[in-house]
Structure 1
């Protein structure tokens, strides 16, 4: 083994400055994405299917408990995510996908998962949406394209044949699109609402449980926005009123019951609803034009943010703040942005989707600010070889630190990514066995005033 050189190293750069830097957010089932005001894309949480896009070893994708920058591009514009894959647009209108691809939901002509973003075609795109097995996007000319699983007619192309490349849905021009678990909703440029795919819970609001495989108009009203997930639908009419239908097992329809509805049902009488989002776990979020935030539905993991785990059957205001501007409901966690670009998160944190660096994840029952990362992991390169080995790495919890004879007696210190010391001990043999909980750690070895550090991932 080579002797360790005396190199001044800083264990961490300044990782967090403040929380006021975020522009756009998206929440997958157990992972999160955010675009900062500088156009950089940051990811954290579950990475089992490579939905973080960080290029991990194909056999050992590791979760991240802190936001990690994806690549070096500074022109990311918008993001969407599902249970197992992610989608993003750049400022130039190019479309990029990564993660699970068993249904062809990445749209690259294969069914092979991708651990880094892959560009899909050369078209110019404007809007995107994703569910567990599909991706949808609207081009700059207003045409709608969907790909992935088609067993329930989600693609709307008149067939039930799955496609692994973007497939056009009709010839109309579209304003927006929403993908539920197995149904699709779209608002055309004239404001009319259309639905297709599975309708087993009445989520297409057609008064029956029949599900067409081509776009079918829902009523004659005009609409400003629609959201869908977990076999239910939420929509805001042009007059600002809130309407829901479909599965209501956890009260996600917000009508005070747990009874499914196969027609759109108005929720309350307010006419100042502004934005909506709903999660795969059966919870829903909405903001009003006055900047207030409202939550309802399933709350087992605290995803409603009211400091309880009790489901709520009607929209209920969260706190008293009036500066909420955008929302994203994940599987059982929630992300929200304020008008000062602060990012807040609450709910389930089993995979680090809160982005707060906690090694031992636990649910957050109230909103918690997620500070801004100002750099990637702040380790400087150390120009020495084979100073010590960690194996296996990634580890399932139990691992070994191996050193040569000249490092016997060295001090080992383990830190988490917040710079907090987890433990320290002496290396009194050439192989030292240790156990850690799930997380990302830095192991520093010091002897005779010389230090070197390596990263350890525990899945």
Structure 2
């Protein structure tokens, strides 16, 4: 494991402690309480004040006087969450900030939502301790263990309606079903919610019961049927008497994934990923494209590893182990890519079982020290190297991969982290109060360096734009000939090492290395190309003969 970044730097501003991914944007939270964003800017989901796309991580500016805590201090964020088109951030004083689709506004849970008696009995100031988002809804858990929800949420009663439909609320509403219990973790998809709740009044560390409710058209509630629920219902596989202790939960659009350990196993800590719901693209990892109405164990994961992170995209799922391995399954080889960016040829198809993700595909080297994974609609982001490196793969449009490009990536690519501008400030920490202070012995020099950096960044964006266009062209050409997207491994060794390229020699080498199937495809492509050229030449010759005849006839008539 490469720990150069982690071993030599104590700068928390460069350490990512959490990531979250939406439909086409990504958020990162750093150890010093700052939030960074990149990807699609539509609806203001990046929080930059603009709707333009960002190809690299940019820090959201909360430094102005308009953004202060209740005590007038600079905001320090401790948690982030992302829905399809909106973003949430939680501060250390328990307030929630939100931006994106709908309106940019400040949310604070207070006595307006509780009666005086409830607040008096609690004797504890109400504040948020955890947040989550998904689809078009937002969730929060307060310090008393109560769950709140707002946005497009499942109704809490059927109210005589025949079919399930979401209801909209512009203010947080409490979920009363868990009164007397503590909600510890929660996740939501497009139209369903899954919560891990204490069996008793307080959470004791291993007594969580799994509840689910909302739309259940695809069995995403794990209750054994496809009937929707207006009230939370226990998922029996993980009830109070179950030997399986659930410790993590994630929701895709229409499927659910849970991580659990078997309490009965005394010799080893057996960690298992369970999934249920829609399985059309293999996002359940069960080896089939069938949906599952009850929790089933993902097939193909090693039994001797402990899984510490799980997340779901629209049609794919990813997990990370404590040992540093990353697996993904679902649409387009587990990359989550939508059909308009699909593979072709022998590499086409969804991953019905877990595939190991590495830097250069299935046969490459490991990613150093992965610790957390986040899945967007069609992309995946990984925190690695103890938080000092980020990797991403999948759909790349709008710069959602954070690598300066707008093309799809079929293997992990490095996110530009930390952002270049962060490296040009001399920072120190006041040991007395722990406050970071940026300073420079020569402010004028820093200004010049920043101006040069800005110009360099603009030039780099232009070069990246040209490079993206060239790579897209090469990928289309390569795909039409060989039936799969262009990959760095396809570049001849001689060109990689020396910069020179012997066309005849490399062509012979390539033909020698191709199997029969690839040779047949190459022959078919060659025949079609030759036939097309001959056909075009024939048509061109016919046009010339016709023109000659017409010219001759015109001359004779004259």
Question: What TM-score, normalized by structure 2, do the two folds share?
Answer: 0.58
Match of 1:164 in 2: 170
Structure 1 residues 344 and 321, CA gap change in structure 2 (3 angstroms): closer
Residues 1:349 and 2:396 are matched in the alignment: yes
Task: Identify the match of residue 251 of structure 1 among 279, 282, 288.
Answer: 282
Q: Distance in 1 between matches of 2:320 and 2:423?
A: 35
Q: How does 1:37-116 map to 2 (within 5 A)?
A: 37-56=31-50, 61-71=51-61, 72=63, 75-101=76-102, 113-114=103-104
- For 1:272 and 1:22, locate their aligned partners in 2 and report how far apart those are by CA, in whole Å: 24
User: Any gaps of 5 or more consecutive residues in structure 2?
Assistant: 1-10, 64-73, 111-125, 160-165, 199-206, 263-270, 338-342, 359-365, 425-442, 445-453, 470-558
Q: Distance in 2 between matches of 1:49 and 1:22?
A: 25
Aligned residue number for residue 227 of structure 1:
250
Residue 357 of structure 1 contacts residue 417 of structure 1 at CA under 8 Å; is this kept in 2? no
Instruction: Choose from 148, 152, 155 the match for 1:149.
Output: 152
Cα distance 1:94–1:50, how it changes in 2: closer, same or farther (>3 A)?
same
1:9 maps to what in 2? none
Q: Offset at 1:419?
A: 3.5
For 1:185-224, list aligned pairs within 5 A: 185-189=194-198, 190-219=207-236, 220=239, 221=242, 222-224=245-247
Query: Does residue 260 in structure 1 map to residue 291 in structure 2?
Result: yes
Q: What's the CA shift string for 1:247-292, capped at 9, x where partnerless? A: 0111000000000111111123726442343444311100123221
**1:184-225 CA-partner distances (Å, limit 9, x unpaired):** 000002311000000000011111111111111110234111
Query: For the residues of structure 2 that align with 1:130 and 1:366, how far apart are their CA atoms?
Result: 27
Query: What is aligned with 1:176?
Result: 185
Q: 1:359-406: per-residue Cα shift (whole Å, max 9, x none)?
A: xx101111122220253799x99xxxxxxxxxxxxxxxxxxxxxxxxx
Q: In terms of Rg, which structure is larger?
A: 2
Once structures 1 and 2 are overlaid, which stretch shifts more, 293-302 or 204-213? 293-302
* Contact 2:254 2:314 (C-alpha < 8 Å) held by counterparts: no
Please identify which structure carries the higher strand content.
1
Provide the C-alpha distance between the structure 1 equivalents of 2:334 and 2:208, rounded to a whole number of angstroms: 36
Listed as ranges, the matches of 1:254-403 within 5 Å are 254-268=285-299, 270=303, 272-299=305-332, 302-303=335-336, 310-319=349-358, 320-321=366-367, 323-341=369-387, 342-358=389-405, 361-370=406-415, 371-373=417-419, 375=421
Alpha-carbon contact 1:301-1:332 (below 8 Å) kept: no
Q: Contact 1:303–1:346 at 8 Å: present in 2 too?
A: no
Q: Structure 1 length normalisation: TM-score? A: 0.70
Change (3 A) 1:19 1:352: farther
1:74 CA displacement = 5.8
1:30 CA displacement: 0.2
- Deviation for aligned residue 1:418: 5.5
- Structure 1 pair 191–311 and aligned structure 2 pair: CA distance change class (3 A): same
Contact 1:301 1:347 in 2 (8 A): no
CA distance in 2: counterparts of 1:309 and 1:364, whole angstroms: 15
Return the structure number with greater relative CO, CA threshold 8 A, min gap 6: 1
Are 1:119 and 2:107 an aligned pair?
yes
8 Å CA contact retained: 2:13, 2:31: no
- Report deviation, 1:19: 11
Partner of 1:410 in structure 2? none
Q: CA deviation at 1:54?
A: 1.6
Q: Going by fraction, where is helix more abundant, 1 or 2? A: 2
SS of the equivalent of 2:386 reads coil
User: In the alignment, which residue of structure 1 is the partner of 2:24?
Assistant: 30
Tell me the distance in 1 between the aligned counterparts of 2:382 and 2:353.
Answer: 20
Structure 1 residues 322-359: Cα deviation after superposition (integer angstroms, max 9, x where no partner): 6211110011111111143111111111111111223x
Where does residue 5 of structure 1 map in the other structure?
none
Aligned-partner Cα distance in 1 for 2:147–2:52: 34
The verdict on how the C-alpha distance between 1:296 and 1:174 changes in structure 2, with shifts beyond 3 A counting, is same
Measure the CA separation in 2 of the matches of 1:137 and 1:250: 31
* 1:129-162 deviations in Å (ceiling 9; x for gaps): 1112110111111111111223x43xx4666643
- From the superposition, tell whether residues 309 and 316 of structure 1 become closer, same or farther in structure 2 (CA, over 3 Å): same
Change (3 A) 1:322 1:301: closer
Aligned length: 355
